[in-house]
Each structure stands twice: as C-alpha cells, then as structure tokens.
Structure 1
Amino acid sequence: MAGLLAAPGAATADTGRDALDDLLERSLEDLADVEVTGGSRRAHRLEDSAASVFVIHRDDLRRHGIRSLPEALRLAPNLAVARLHASGYAVSARGMKTELGNKLLVLIDGRPVYTPLFGGVLWDMQAVPVEEIERIEVVSGPGAAAWGANAVNGVINIVTRPAIETAGGWANAWASGEEHGAGVGQVFGDDTAALRIYARHRRVDDGAAAGGGELADGWRQQQVGFRADRVRGADEFTLQGDALRAESSPRVFGAVESRAWNLSAHWRHRRDDGSRWNLHGYLDVVDRDDPLVIRDRMRIAALEFVHESQRGAHRLTWGAGLRVAHDDSSPGLLAQLDPGHRTLRWAHAFVADQIALGPRLSLDLDLRLDHNPWTGTEVLPSLRLGWRPPEGGLVWAALSRAVRAPSRFDRDFHFPAQPPYVIAGGAGFDSEVAIVSELGWRRRPTDWLALSLTVFHHRYEGLRGGEPGPGGAFVIANRVEGAVWGAEGWATVRLPRRWELAAGFLELRKDLRLMPGFPDPAAVRDQGNDPETQWLLRASVGVGERQRLAAFARYVGALPDPHVPSYVQVDARWSFVPGPRTEFGIGVRNLFDARHAEHQPVGGLGTPEFGRTVFVDLRLGW
C-alpha cells in the first residue's frame, strides 16, 4: 500500500473545459470503440455487441446535473424509471416495474448489489459519486447465461474510473428546493499505483402529497469510499470499498435506518499467449432497521475466477464462483421472515464460446449452471448470431433462457408478523422462467449518426402469485404466465461545435394471466405497473468556449392498474466554466409541469407528487 500513498498526482485535475468536453470532442466512431462487458463476460466493442446495449457516459451525467444513480438511469431509453417517494425508485427493463423489482441485475464494478431477501435493489442504499463513474452500461434483455439468476430482463453495469487514470482532487456542492448535498475527493499516486478517496453527504426533504400536505419520506445519506489500483508487469490489482449510512424522516412507527459497507478486490493477469484471467472477491454487509416491515442483518461473501483465451476462430471464456449469505432478521410491526435466520449458498460455472464463422458472421454459444439453495441447479443457455451486411452495421438475433430464482421473501415471508397469517411464503415456490427471443439492428451510417433498434418477445412461466393455503392464508406460489413483447430503439447525433442530440423510445405490450384454477385477482397486477409507451429526447450544445446548455425531455405513458396519468417532464441546465478547474451550473427540473405523480402509492406513505424545482451546483478541482 505504500506505493499507493505517494504524493498527490502531478497531472492536472480532470476538471477543466477540455476535460468537461473530452467525450464530446470524440467522434461516434471513437464511442463505438468503447469496450463494454455488461452484455457478456467478454470485453468487446459496443458496435460489435449482439445485444441491446446503451451506454451512459460520465459527461452525460455532468451536463444534466445528475446526482443519484436512479436519476442517471433515466437517460437510458431502454429502461423505465419511476420515483416512488423521496428515496424510493422503481427501475425496470422491458416491464415488471415494481418497488421490489426482481428481474433486473445491477452491478457496481462487477459486484451484484441486489439483496437475497427479495432479489431486488434497495436504491436508497446505492450511491456512487458522479465524479467516480466512468460509464453505465445498460443491457436490456436477458443476461442470465453470463451473470446468473435475476438477470432476466436486463443488466446494469456501473463502471467506476481507475484511480491510476485520474489525478488531483475535487469538491462539489449542490442545492435545490427539495435536496442539498456536497462531496469531496482526492487522488494520491501516479499512473502505476494510485489511491482515490471520497466522501459525500446528501439530504432530501419530505415530499409533497397529492391534495396537499407533506409526506414523511425525506432522508439523509452519508458515504465514504476509496479505490486503489496498481499495475505491475502483467498484473493489475484493484481494491475498493465504501461505507454508507442512511436514515429516513421520523414516521409514525419510527425512522428507517440503514448501514452498509463493502470491500471488493480484483486481480487481473495477462499471459504471454494473449490469454488472461480475473480473480474477483467481495464482502458485503448490510444492516437495515425498518420498524414497520422487517429488521435484517445481511452478510455476503463471494469469490469468482474467470479465464479468457483465443484459439483460432474461437474466443473462449469460462469461470466458476461461490457465494455465501447469512442473515438474521426480526419481525417488524407488519411482517416477519420465518425462520428468522438462514445461511444460504450459491455456486455457478459457465462457459462461453464466441465463434467467427466467417468475415461477416459470428456465433455466441453461452451456457451457465447456477446452483441455488431453493431449486437446485438451473440451466441457463443463450445463443446469439451476428451478421455484418456489406453496407455496414450489425444484424443480430438471440434466443435465451433465464430464471428468477426464489428469494427469502418467496419462501419465508409472513404477513402479519404474528398468526393467523393472511399471506405466507410457499415452501414449494419454484423459479420463475423466461424464454426470450430478440432481433436487433445497429448501424452508424455516417460519422455523426448512430442508430439501434431491437424487437423482443419474453414468454414467462411460473410468475409469482398465490393460492389458498391452510388456516385461510394465501400462500405464495407460481401461478401467473404469459408474454411481454415490444420494441426499443435510439439514435445519437454528434455534430461540430459540440452539438449532441439523442432520442429513444420503448413500446411495450403485456398479456399476463392466471394459470387455470388459481383464484388470485391481484397476482397479474402485482407483476408490475408499466406504461405502454415512453420516449425521451436529449440535447446539448456548447455556447462559446466556456458555456453549455443541456435539455432533457421525456414522455411516460399512463400506468394502467392502478391508474396513474401520463406525464411529460422537461429538465434544463446551463453551465459556465470560469476557469480551467471550476464549473458552475443552474437548472430546473419539471420546467413546464407544476406537479405530477410517477407511480402508485407504496409503503403507506400516500401518493407523492413531484413538482418544479430550481437547482444550482458548483464544482472545484485542483
């Protein structure tokens, strides 16, 4: 570690106008060459990816004044994001949008951040400072053959910047009518060994309820973290971690308090023959005290090895891993998990072969075996075919099988906290299964225009519902089936003088139904409240050498059940760079709409509405 604790880097901090517009000055060809890993375990050019992949770059986040991960994900046209209350979000790909969404896998530098309790993401406990992010890879469609269970409808891979590629330090602050925050970071070292540390505070005030009044949904969050990188010959080492504390506003039954810390390590080695391997391990500790629902203490440890090599026309990747989780829970006022504690183990092995069938044709054959403590071994195959037409671009087709494995919620949940129970976990609850077919097209017809279009069909079996059980309780069971289909696409335009435009859409249709003989009228509704149509439009332009204007508009169609009206939101931000290491911005959210709701009420907080707010932000570098 001594080599990492050298003097602060001598290079200029990445904060001046040149750094702010680094990606803007690059062509679409340069951005197409960006390597992504979210769609598979292989790093490959975005333009060569036989999957529906959209990349959010760090400059996108800065230009629009983004300060949280869920708000950053709104920039992806292949995701649906709804704000539920001050700290809660529902994020989905291709439908199934709920507060406890469990069909989307989220990774931060390869570390899964979903909880084994219900298989979803607690968004109020996921925070990465914008200054730390290199890019966010958003893959819509199944990634189970690469990443395992829960990667049913999509994978989000948040990639942070290597410490050895940054220098200097930064401090920022922001404030609006509903929140304020500040952060600071510093890099020590050089381009072979470096340590980056940061600290951050954010507070969101109580929101407004429909019809007037305030909701007790405010929260505050503090976070500290680090990333250390070292390059030594053919080896690269990364050690990173952070600690977080969050607390909601006092509610009738007490505040929700959360504490978490994690530690993650990578060892990457490249051999003389061109092959390479990566050893990755992490620890994750989460303590969440929700007096209304459940108090839980979760400990997770995982280790995985991945090897990649090239043999003639075959690019072969294989790996194996083990994950262990132990949790202790105690009942809240409304619910409990029975038994109160469990130790669960998962194991997996996978192999992926990318075969060059000719100069224009490639075939990806992926297979993963996932062993979970509930249903045993799941077989997760994927087949992807890519063809490059003579005029350029890529046409691809894919067929995949993905599963959402049971969670503690499915097997052990009981409501209310004491018998007699109204809802009880199902001891026989099996994996939810999706058979997914996709057809996509991607092309860059000019140096300034890039296009992508994908059509998809998901056939689901055994989705979560319920059936009558002993003692009058409704027992959680696999009782819903059906299909979801639609199309998604986007276009990106980059013009001279720092002009950029991006537009995208998502069309979604659902036909879900109860399996014959099982009366659970709420089961279909509980699969998610999704709009049929959404679109977005982003624009950014440089004004002279030191100013920039950015705008972001999105339309979200009405939610069907329960009904939530459609809305259009327009955000805008003006930024000014008075010096090479300073940026000031002022903007407005929801410019033309005084107030709107984005989702139905959750958690007994009432119906939140989000209104117009003005914000300012300041960033200093050294």
Structure 2
Amino acid sequence: MLNRGKIVLPLLVGLCSAKGQANDLEQLMSMSLEELAMVDIHVTSAAKKPQSLRDIPAAVYVISNEQIRRSGVRSIAEALALAPGIQVTRISEFNWQVSLRGLNEVLFNKLLVMIDGRTVYSPLMSGTFWHTIDTLLEDIERIEVIRGAAGTMWGGNAANGVVNIITKDTQETLGHYGEMAGGDYGYRELNYRYGTRFNDNVTARAFVKGVNGNYYIDNDDTWRNLRGGIRADISQDNRKITLQVGGYQTKSEHLWLYADLSSAYSDGLYHHTDLNVYSEGAYFSANWQEQYNNSFYEFNLWADTHSSDEPSAAGKFHTLDLEVLAHQQLNPDHQITFGGGSRVIHRRTAPYPDNHYKHIELWGRYSHDPVGTDTIFNTYFQLESKLSETLTSTFGLKVEHFSLNNSTELQPQARLLYQPNNNQQLWLGAARAVVTPSFVSTKTDGYRLSSVCLTTDCQDNRPAIIYTAANDNLDTESVVTLDMGHRYFVSDKLTVDSTIFYSQYDNVLMENDSQWVCIYGQCMDGTQLPSEMFALVQTYSDNLKLENYGFETAINWSPLPSFTINTSYSYIQTSASCSGHANCQPDATTGSKLLNEHQPAHLLSLQTLWQITPAWQLDLWFKHKSAVSTNHSLPEAPSISTLDARIAWHEKPHWPRIELIADALGKNPYEDMPGKARIDQNVFLKASWGVE
C-alpha cells in the first residue's frame, strides 16, 4: 500500500496490514474482467494518502500516463488542458500561462503546482514559470488535479486547486529508455533514462533531457532547455524511502533594445543589443513513510534553489521545506490526519542601480529590500468519519502563518459524501483557502518604458517610464468556495463526473489609479529626471473582490475495446467589484476589474484514442475556447479551435515506437490570446525505444 498508484479494491479505505494485502490480492485474482474494469487507481493529493476516487468528496481529475503520451504534447503545461476547468494559453513556442476556474493571467497565483509533493511555484513572483517545469513525460505516472479550495491539506496558493505531478516508482522504469524528436521551427529533443535494481529493496533511475527550438515563430530567437535527475526508492516491509535530486538550465536568446536616458533629450535614446536570458535551478527531496498497525507516518524534506536574470523576474531564491504528518485509525469509523511544517525562503533580487537611467531595459523590476528571509509555519488536522453505511464526513482546519506580511490565516473545510451504491457518489463541500503573500507586490517596483505624444501626430514626443510601486500593507488574498459534485459509473465503459461551484474572493491584487509624478523631467518632490522624461506611478492594492461560478464535467466512454473518448467541458463566469479607483467605475474602459471579467466562458477538450491494430494507433484531440466580446478598450478575443493528431506505430514491445504528431493541424498562425506572440501548426516526428 505504500507504493503509490497501485491498483486497489474500491471497498478498501485507508491503510491495510500485510495480512489484509494478501487477502486483497486473492480477491483480485478471483475477479472477472468486468469487475477488474471497475477497479480504481489511487489518488493521493486530496487527503495526502491513497484513496479510491469513489471515496473523495471533492472535484478530482486524473490525467493518466497513456493520455499524456497519446495526446502528443511536448510539455506538462500542454497536458493540463485535458482536465476540466483548466485554461492553458500558449504565449510562445516554449512558454505558457495556466489557470484554473478562470482569472487567467501570466503568473496565476491561485494554483498550487507540485512534482511528487514538492512545490514548484516561484516565491518571488507567487506564480508558476511553466517553462522551467519539466521532466521525462514517459516517467510521469499520472497528474492529479484537485479543483476547488484545498488549503486545509496543502496551504497557501491552493486557492483554486492543486496540480500534483506524480512520477513512477523506479521499479517500473528499469532498463534503458531513449527518445528523440524533431520538427518545425527548429524543434529538436533528445532524452535518455536508465533504471537499475541494486537488490530486492533498492531501485534507482537517472535521466537527462535536452530541448532546442525557436522561441517565437516570427524571428530567430532560440530556446534551449537542459535538465536531469536521479531518483532512488528503498522499500522494506513497512517502510518506503524515496530520494530525488536534479537540476535544470534554460536559455533564450533575443534581439533586444535598451535605453540610455541619462543625457539630455535627443533622438536615438534606444540601442540594439542581444539579450540572453538564463533560468537555472537544482533540488533535493526525501520522503520517508512508515506504517505501524493502524498508524501511518510520513516525513518530507525538500530543498531547492532557483535563479533568473530575466529583467522583470531577476533574482535568486533558496527554499528549505519540512513537513511531518500522521494518519491514525481511531476506530473502524473514524480516522484522523494531523501534521505540520515549516518553510524558509531566502531571497536575493535586483536592487536599484546607482545610475538607473544609464542602461534601462524595456521593462524590469527593482527592489528597495533586495535581500531577506521569509518563513511560513503551519499545522493542520482532518477528521474523516463514517456516519452510516452510505454517508461519510470530512472536517479539517489548517492554521498558517506568513512572516512576509505577518499574518496568520485559518483554512477550514467541511465535506460530505453520500454513496447510495457503488456506482454513484454525491458530494458537497465548503472550504476557505488563501494565497501565499507575494514578494513581488510587497517589496519590488515594476517598470516599463513608454512615450508621451505631445502632438496629435506624435511627431513630438518624450520618453516615459511607468512604475507599479510596491505596497507592504497588503492583506492576504482569500477565497471561500462552495461546490457540489456527482460521479456516475454507468458501466465499465462509461463514467460521468460533474461539479458545480461558487467562489467569493477577497483582497485580490490589483493596480490602483495612476498619477503623473514627473512632467518634462520636473517631479512633484522637487527632483529632476533626465531627458525631459515623464513618469507615471501606480501602486498595488488589495481592493478587488471577485465572484465566480460555473459547471465542469468529464466523460469517459469506451464504446469499443479499441476506442476511447475522453471529454471535459467547463463553463465559467466571473464578476469583479472594487471602489475608490477610477477603474472601478461602471463606465471604466480598462483596469484590473475588467481584466478579470474578460475571460472565455466555455472550454472544451475532446480526446479520442483509437487502437486501429495491435501495432497502429490514431489519436485526435480537439480543443475549443469561446470568444470574448467587449464594449470597452480591451481587445476582443475570437474563439479558438484546434485539432491535434497523432499516428503511432509500435510493432513489438521491445521495438522502437514511431510517432508522427501534428499540433494545431491545418491551423494558420494565430494568437492564443490577444497581444501574445503568434503560434502556428507544428508537425514533428518522434521515436522512442525502451529495453530492460
């Protein structure tokens, strides 16, 4: 039972003894094929323990390894579009922004993303840099997506949900495995993994992965991603230890401009240059699990370091995280989970340079407090009770303290699960979660260069700099979510999983009204700026409130043994309100309020998997995002529909697998969101080969 992801009987709940596992194996061996088809795969992210999907009173979707491989995706971010409620926006050939249940933005801060339980969001930016999150896709066992507030178990940033990327046990990846791929726009990829067994109890693997290509389709900017890692699993009776270590480096090369605003105003302020952007990082994690009779204990320790010199996110941070938890079976009807943890984050960001205006990027970020250490402490408990043969309850609470804004937050949840029979489950829940306070909004000033037209034809203009100033008096963002769901296992060939939800958000980050503080170089505080420049200043605020509601459904249907359809659909509506700012008025034409409402209402994913013959597969993936109309200054967003296609040949298990994949088949170049870089159809060939 300690080996996550193993097949278990739906009637099993919690932890089993060795004797119980032997009896379960005998029962499995005696089951018919139809009964075996109804067996569930464990989900571990909902309650930090293996659970049957049927026993979880929350919105859960599991993306399997087969779905990932047969979707033809090249990244983890792209695979998430298979799940209901998730919007994946491609902003370059190798960068994405991902949101859950609306509120789409580049650094979405309301989704906790983990790999094997290790958090991978940036504490500097309070969001996820998806181009730095990668691994060998073949080694991913599944991706668990928890939709809705999950702060009780997972804490800060699990406001709209959790994405936990779970990799395979090393016992399942023995031998050699290699991949190579190549296609349009300079795309090249070469991967290798080797797994070995040292003895009956110890297995390990190591992998390296390299990707290269054009960052944009319209120029020669290049992208390179190198990464590697080692994992070892040690299993002994009632003990399981997993150790992991790895690292990555990404590099993108761009034609760039910088400005010299240090001298008197004249033409030729901007100068061409080359910009090489590096992101790099390394990590170590240790997971220790012990089982004694009716008790289960887990110890998690991980540390990582990351750095980037991208102008708007330049900095370095080191994180050390420690967590302990226990599951205790109090009696046959009650089980309690309790634990706690701490996280220490040491950060270094770019300070204001001595001569800020001598060499200034098109956009960037500086800090008046460039070096510091932040801490997060938490403790939590959750009680699961069997109230009757058909009704169970879950009540929990997390207390979490953030030193960055010196706040202590309560994150409770209450859930009920009603199972009238083994084929249907009805659940409802209420939960509160918070967003980890953001260093970027409390300690850094962002800027971007612009210009001010002094005549109607803009023949006479002056340089301008627009600042978004830090605010160290921001309250913690929070959300309260009510949701209800229904799962219906119609047969071993058809399942339907549906959820409705309503959420209220408070203290959401926004930008308040702006003010010209410098005109023709003369500033309100009496200082003088060079180049007769103008300066506009706005400040972060926590004055925005949001409401959203929606419906999500996932349908899995296998009308034939060789043909499966995986469908997910989401409907999401968001409304925003604020006061005290011009952009909060009903007739406002721009601002944070409108940006949060300016979201597509309909998201559809339809994946078909067809095993034509034992050797041939044909898989299609249709994705649709509805249009967004507007009556204000924000650009209208047209609907976007794409079709991905994959055809694969794999004659024998130890022969190479050959795949031809077309991303956005037949699509002309388009923007996945107004104002983003154009993307295009991409056709590539992939070969993989595994030998034990």
2:226 alignment counterpart: 222
User: Are residues 169 and 274 of structure 1, via their aligned partners in 2, closer, same or farther at CA, if it must alter by over 3 Å?
Assistant: farther
1:167-186 map, 5 Å: 167-178=174-185, 179-186=187-194
Displacement after TM superposition at 1:64 (Å): 2.2
Displacement after TM superposition at 1:596 (Å): 2.0
Secondary structure of the 2:79 match is helix
Displacement after TM superposition at 1:530 (Å): 2.4
1:589 alignment counterpart: 663
Displacement after TM superposition at 1:215 (Å): 7.0
Displacement after TM superposition at 1:175 (Å): 1.2
* Distance in structure 1 (CA, Å) of the matches to 2:618 and 2:44: 32
1:145-544 map, 5 Å: 145-178=152-185, 179-189=187-197, 192-208=201-217, 213-214=218-219, 216=221, 218-252=222-256, 254-271=275-292, 273-290=293-310, 292-312=311-331, 313-331=333-351, 333=361, 334-373=364-403, 374-390=405-421, 392-416=423-447, 422-467=467-512, 473-516=537-580, 519=583, 521-527=590-596, 529-544=598-613
Displacement after TM superposition at 1:391 (Å): 7.5
The residue type equivalent to 1:205 in the other structure is N
The residue type equivalent to 2:205 in the other structure is R
Secondary structure of the 1:99 match is coil
Over aligned residues, Cα RMSD in angstroms? Answer: 2.2
Displacement after TM superposition at 1:514 (Å): 1.7
Displacement after TM superposition at 1:128 (Å): 1.2
Count of residue pairs brought into register by the alignment: 586
Displacement after TM superposition at 1:65 (Å): 2.1
User: Are residues 79 and 592 of structure 1, via their aligned partners in 2, closer, same or farther at CA, if it must alter by over 3 Å?
Assistant: same
Secondary structure of the 1:401 match is strand
1:80 alignment counterpart: 87
Displacement after TM superposition at 1:447 (Å): 1.3
* Distance in structure 1 (CA, Å) of the matches to 2:75 and 2:442: 33
Deviations 1:136-195 (A, max 9, x none): 001111111110011011100100001123321200111110322010001111552111
* Distance in structure 2 (CA, Å) of the matches to 1:71 and 1:131: 15
Secondary structure of the 1:149 match is coil
1:8 alignment counterpart: none
> Is the 8 Å Cα contact of residues 506 and 534 (structure 1) preserved in structure 2?
yes
Secondary structure of the 2:420 match is coil
The residue type equivalent to 1:338 in the other structure is H
> Is the 8 Å Cα contact of residues 164 and 192 (structure 1) preserved in structure 2?
no
> Is the 8 Å Cα contact of residues 380 and 401 (structure 1) preserved in structure 2?
yes
The residue type equivalent to 2:425 in the other structure is L
> Is the 8 Å Cα contact of residues 165 and 191 (structure 1) preserved in structure 2?
no
Secondary structure of the 1:97 match is coil
TM-score, scaled relative to structure 2: 0.81
The residue type equivalent to 1:223 in the other structure is R
Displacement after TM superposition at 1:26 (Å): 8.4
* Distance in structure 2 (CA, Å) of the matches to 1:26 and 1:615: 38
Deviations 1:562-608 (A, max 9, x none): 3221111001111111332221111211124222211233xxxxx42
* Distance in structure 2 (CA, Å) of the matches to 1:450 and 1:43: 21
> Is the 8 Å Cα contact of residues 356 and 363 (structure 1) preserved in structure 2?
yes
> Is the 8 Å Cα contact of residues 514 and 523 (structure 1) preserved in structure 2?
no
TM-score, scaled relative to structure 1: 0.90
Displacement after TM superposition at 1:527 (Å): 3.7
User: Are residues 185 and 588 of structure 1, via their aligned partners in 2, closer, same or farther at CA, if it must alter by over 3 Å?
Assistant: same
* Distance in structure 2 (CA, Å) of the matches to 1:442 and 1:243: 40
* Distance in structure 2 (CA, Å) of the matches to 1:525 and 1:342: 35
* Distance in structure 1 (CA, Å) of the matches to 2:686 and 2:514: 55
2:627 to 547, 550, 558: 558
The residue type equivalent to 1:266 in the other structure is N
* Distance in structure 2 (CA, Å) of the matches to 1:155 and 1:32: 24
Displacement after TM superposition at 1:469 (Å): 8.6
List runs of 5+ in structure 2 lacking aligned partners: 1-31, 258-274, 352-359, 450-463, 518-535, 585-589
Displacement after TM superposition at 1:416 (Å): 3.2
User: Are residues 185 and 163 of structure 1, via their aligned partners in 2, closer, same or farther at CA, if it must alter by over 3 Å?
Assistant: same
Displacement after TM superposition at 1:613 (Å): 2.2
* Distance in structure 1 (CA, Å) of the matches to 2:377 and 2:84: 34
* Distance in structure 2 (CA, Å) of the matches to 1:439 and 1:536: 22
Q: What percent identity do the matched residue pairs reach?
A: 24
1:572 to 622, 626, 645: 645
Displacement after TM superposition at 1:495 (Å): 4.2
User: Are residues 385 and 512 of structure 1, via their aligned partners in 2, closer, same or farther at CA, if it must alter by over 3 Å?
Assistant: same
Secondary structure of the 1:41 match is coil
Displacement after TM superposition at 1:557 (Å): 1.0
The residue type equivalent to 2:246 in the other structure is D
